[in-house]
A and B are shown apart, each in its own frame.
Chain A
Amino acid sequence: MKSKQNTLFQGDQVKEALKHAFVKLDPRVLVRNPVMFTVEIGTVVMLIVTIFSFTNNSQGSFGYNFTIFLVLLLTVLFANFAEAIAEARGKAQAESLRKTREETPARLLVDGKESSVMSSSLRKGDIFLCEAGDTIPTDGEIIEGIATIDESAITGESAPVIREAGGDKSSVTGGTKVLSDRIKVMVTTQPGESFLDKMIALVEGASRQKTPNEIALTILLAGFTLIFVIVCVTLKPFGDYANTPITIAAFISLFVCLIPTTIGGLLSAIGIAGMDRALRANVITKSGKAVETAGDLDTLLLDKTGTITIGNRKATHFWPVDGVKENEFIKACVLSSLADETPEGKSIVELAEHGIGKLTVKVPDGATFIKFTAETRSSGLDTPDGLRVRKGAFDAIRNMVLKAGNPFPDSVETRVKTVASNGGTPLVVSQNEKVLGVIELQDIIKTGIYERFERLRKMGVKTVMVTGDNPLTAKFIADKAGVDDFIAEAKPEDKMNYIKKEQQGGKLVAMMGDGTNDAPALAQADVGVAMNSGTQAAKEAGNMVDLDNDPTKLIEIVEIGKQLLMTRGTLTTFSIANDVAKYFAIVPALFMVSIPSLKALNIMDLHSPQSAILSAVIFNAIIIPLLIPLALRGVEYKPIGASALLRRNLLIYGFGGILVPFIGIKLIDLLVALFI
């Protein structure tokens, strides 16, 4: 699934898109796109003129009219093809996800009795059983048991994950494989109603709605189209006044060239491609609007653990008390952690063996491990020869030491404070109730995360870290990682309140979450991304689901949203800028014969009026398929500040949009001239 398709056009997709390009000629479908609909009307008129010109030459030769008709028909077909290929790609992407959950046998449990049924017959509320080696037949929630699951079919991640009943990791996805243990799962979706099914419906267009932004742009394009209706209609009496007969073919060509067909033809393809790009990033969006909103986000709420820092804290330093040898201290540290299965404990052993200490400590014979309890808040081990090693929180160890009548050195207390203010977590180690030193645990900030936040800041997106740490630690990590703000000692309702506060200030907020208690905040956020591993409630509440469970995904989503808007904007500019050159091709062609002085406007030195008009419409048609790759891939987003970005895009698509058609039309004219 991770394998990105590098080729834009695949054989079978192209074939399907070609078929759909013709199906979409149906005016009832096309009327949704006012620009292309008017081109279709023009095509029909040209068809009538072509038939008429078979017997009567007053509107130009049959061949000329027929060619114009063909080119116009191609223009509409190209636009339809653009939409169809975008749909085909999105569908293919979704289908390949869906394939993983094709018909598999399911072990349905009814009143405790097991029976084998096909996965497609499972209904919401049914309960099925899965054991090691089984493929999970459909999406559901574990109601009993715990299991390791291979989710690589969905996420591409090979390391198995643990899913268990209750809590926030209870969701299983159809198509994934149980590796160990046995779970009872309740079906959470009706067949055909899973997120993937919804997404496929969106891509196919059945339930695709225009986004607010797309509607506003369509209105602007309709406005431009109307201006050119007026320009072309009024040209008839103007031509009469100037004793210049203008053929219907010339009128329609001028009109079709002037209206923004390039963006009109690619508009829906751009929207679909946006959703498709999200899907390629393994994010299922529930609406096109969510992707668009992502581009506007002002604030991102990110969980510290997993997003900003790597999983858990790690030991980074051993600080022995004065008078204690470092080696001795490290040995004690290892002894205290040998039985500690927590990641922190393991990291202490690791640091001692491979890091600073380079020493290996074996478990002494007959040692008894002392487990961590909430009461003692320390752990360690006792050996038969009377050695008692303990490791624990500062105050727990201090109490123990003082109780035994031993002194607690001030230097330890100072060290503990320094470590805490550096964002670390101090653990104090004692041996036989005497303090040996302090272990420093630190959060490890992901490499490259600082740069990513920097990039977000340049995009104008504020990042907020959410953590359960105390404010001091939180501030340290926030500064180090480069986030703009943090919520320390966060409770679920804190997230909600923060989102509401930001929204009241007019900002758009995104967050990622997985737990049921995240659901209200996910629903409140403008873009709520639920992890696929999260609970059903979380997934229902958000408007996107991340199949990879990757918290940094939000950053990608913002860029996808921006790309979507930018692609629309730049192609609109390009489309309208093209008109300048088209005018210089067609206007002299219209009047050159009756007003020879207007030859001066034929700055491209086109061969003849007919070749000029043909070249302009041909250029107008072929620019659509030429731009399909750009529409599907999207215009590259660079976080260089809005004004610089505008300058860059204005130069490329505005200035380029004026220049390119001059060259293109001239080249086509050279070719066309060979045949006329």
Chain B
Amino acid sequence: MNTELLGVIFTYLLTLAIAIVLGKHIARVFKGEKNWLDFMSPVERFIFRFSGIDTKREMNWKQHLYALLTINSIWLIYAFVCLISQAHLPLNPDGNPNQTPDLAFNTAISFLTNTNMQDYSGESLATYFTQHFVFMFLHFASAATGIAALLVVFRALKDKVTDKLGNFWDYFVKSITRILLPISFVIAVILAFNGMPTSYKGKDTVIGMQGDTVHVSRGPVAAMVAIKHLGTNGGGWFGANSAHPLENPNYLTNTTELVAQLIIPIALVFALGFYLNKKKFSYVIYGVMTVGTLLFLLPTIAAEVQGNPAIAKLGVSQTTGAMEGKEVRFGPLNTAYWCIMTTVTSTGSTNSMHDSAMPISGAMMMMGMMVNAFYGGCGVGFLNFYIFIIIAVFISGLMVGRTPEFFGRKIEAREMKIASLIALLHPFIILVGTALSSYVLVHFPNANWSVKPSAWLNNPGYHGFSEMLYQYSSAAANNGSGFAGLTANNLFWNISTGIVMILGRFLPIIGPVAIAGILANKKFVPESAGTLKSDTSTFGIMIYAVIIIIAALAFFPALALGPIAEHFSLK
């Protein structure tokens, strides 16, 4: 247990160290300062010339959003078309079939939105072509989209009174060439040397000890797993994700994947400090995110390490903790750490069955996704956090007797309208989705669908409710992990979570970018002694309180009926 704990602490510290260095690097890249990846600039120049992009042409926030949304729409159509015709496309050594339109709808959105909710299994319903040119491509593209959107906000915070917020394509391309691609390369090499398959040969055949033939799916896995974590995507090669021995062979790959999925969200927070020369502000944000994450992590670790009281009642000793659904090579503590890190960020890759986790752990994982701003997704994590900052600034500004202002710009009705709507959106799509599925389940259990609603849930009662709540939380937070107990590949779930993912992705990008753009164009108010400083621990506490109060108030009744009821009934 002690070594388990040390392993986790070491993993986190390693993550932090890399993230700080990376944060500095990101700031240099986007400030246009010299950095060690300058050798990529011919590649970038070629891309820009080839695409007819003039990176000197600065955009305002509306043009940024226009560029972002158009290119994303094109990718959506592209992904959808590939998936429904993958059987006829090259690189399909296993002869896998086309995806059904509803599954393709869900999958295309899922990868476009950085969610990677896999209602399919990679071994049987994807081809090497779609894994490569749809999934991996979108792994890069969706992560870079998030970073590019975040940079618009960074830029808006930096300059005084401007509507020129840089060039979207510049941000986008450099996010890939200077951040995602080089680091992915390093990670992929580490993973490949630790036994992760990197092959185009299709299924391998193994004859087991008892003489039965086993067909083992393979593929160029290592490359995909690298960006799957680095871009906080989470969409794995195999259906079992990082619990699959070929997608996560040993402790070292496990650590690598853990580090990879956390470095960019943390690095971006530090990048903000370096970019704006406001390091203290980024420390406050980092502090709030870290404390928030820790308060989800500690109960999870406690619950998992203690083991299941229901099993204890049977007189079974659980010296190794709650091991149901976990990989022996990782153990409960490391798995608990993974569970929380993958849900506070928007990664959503899994190295265990979340369905089997203790109810408290389930609640904590859901809270991670319901908040969706502690570290959060690639770029979008801070965008969500930004909304909470705006609300916190507003309330605390009033509390000190001054019209609220953030970085010298007054926050007024228009910004509050956008911030309130975005803060409202997340509970709305999660709760309405869960309510809709509950309603269908209760009132039409035997509807004549391919999968009857009564057959959706593996478990009855509270746990079944948790499965639905988790699924929509995961979709709304663009997380993509599943509680697994749910039979999700059918029309109802594919379509409903698809819609939730689209709303949960793009509105929380549009809102913060719009607020930042509007604020950047406002009169700049210099700081005075009466101005509330945003880089103090007091203000950090305020942000934390706003985040927790909004999440707790919106989700408490739902959580009470799911994991909380289950928790108390276990005792």
Contacts and interface: CB of A to CB of B under 8 A. Distances in A.
Contact of A212 (B412, B524, B525): B412
B399 A238 contact: no
Interface stretch (B220-228, B333-341, B400-408, B480-488): B400-408
B529 A641 contact: yes
B439 to A, nearest CB: 4
B557 A238 contact: yes
Interface string A546-577: 00000000000000011111101110110011
Contacts of B439: 237, 240
B436 A237 contact: yes
A458 interface: yes
B421 A223 contact: yes
A464 B552 CA distance: 48
B161 to A, nearest CB: 9
B396 A569 contact: yes
A563 B399 CA distance: 9
B310 interface: no
B124 interface: no
A29 interface: no
B435 A233 contact: yes
A458 B431 CA distance: 46
A258 B549 CA distance: 12
Given A237-B442, A506-B524, A600-B568, A642 B533 contact: yes
A25 interface: no
B428 A230 contact: yes
A649 B532 CA distance: 13
Interface in A99-152: none
Interface string B488-523: 000000000000000000000000000000000001
A573 B395 contact: yes
Which of B408, B411, B438, B536 gathers the greatest number of chain A CB atoms within 10 Å? B438
Interface in A457-495: 457-462
Q: Is the interface of B mostly helix, strand, loop or mixed?
A: helix
B398 interface: yes
Interface residues of B, number: 68
B427 interface: yes
Interface string A230-273: 11011111111110000000000000001000000000000000
A292 B404 CA distance: 12
B413 A650 contact: no
A258 B528 contact: no
B434 A457 contact: no
B398 A595 contact: no
Given A237-B436, A242-B465, A227 B413 contact: no
A357 to B, nearest CB: 47
A591 B417 contact: no
B530 A650 contact: no
Contacts of B421: 223
B545 interface: yes
B561 A591 contact: yes
Nearest to A298: B528
Interface in B418-460: 419-421, 423-424, 427-428, 431-432, 434-436, 438-439, 441-443
Interface stretch (A164-172, A214-222, A343-351, A402-410): A214-222
A656 to B, nearest CB: 13
Given A212-B412, A240-B439, A600-B568, A234 B398 contact: no
A295 B443 CA distance: 56
Contacts of A224: 420
B423 A223 contact: yes
A459 to B, nearest CB: 5
Nearest to A461: B530
Q: How large is the interface on A (under 10, 10 to 19, 20 to 34, 35 or more residues)?
A: 35 or more
Interface in B202-246: none
A565 B401 contact: yes
A654 interface: yes
A296 B405 CA distance: 11
Contact of A598 (B435, B442, B565): B565
B431 A506 contact: no
Contact of A295 (B394, B402, B523, B571): B402
A643 interface: yes
A213 interface: yes
Centre residue among A236, A569, A642, A643 by max chain B CB count within 10 A: A642
B530 A459 contact: yes
Given A219-B420, A227-B427, A601-B560, A646 B538 contact: yes
A234 B434 contact: yes
B52 interface: no
B391 interface: yes
B568 A597 contact: yes
B179 to A, nearest CB: 35
Contacts of B462: 242, 595
Contact of A237 (B435, B538, B542): B435
B76 interface: no
Interface stretch (A418-426, A579-587, A611-619): A579-587
B526 A506 contact: yes
B523 A506 contact: yes
The winner among A223, A234, A566 for most chain B CB atoms within 10 A is A234
Of all A-B residue pairs in the complex, the 9 with the closest CB atoms, nearest first, are: A460-B530, A569-B398, A223-B420, A562-B401, A460-B528, A569-B399, A234-B435, A460-B529, A597-B568
10 contacts: A222-B420, A242-B462, A298-B525, A506-B523, A569-B395, A577-B549, A580-B549, A597-B568, A598-B568, A643-B538
Interface of B: 391, 394-403, 408, 411-413, 415-417, 419-421, 423-424, 427-428, 431-432, 434-436, 438-439, 441-443, 462, 465, 523-526, 528-533, 536, 538-539, 541-542, 545, 549-550, 552-554, 556-558, 560-561, 564-565, 568-569, 571
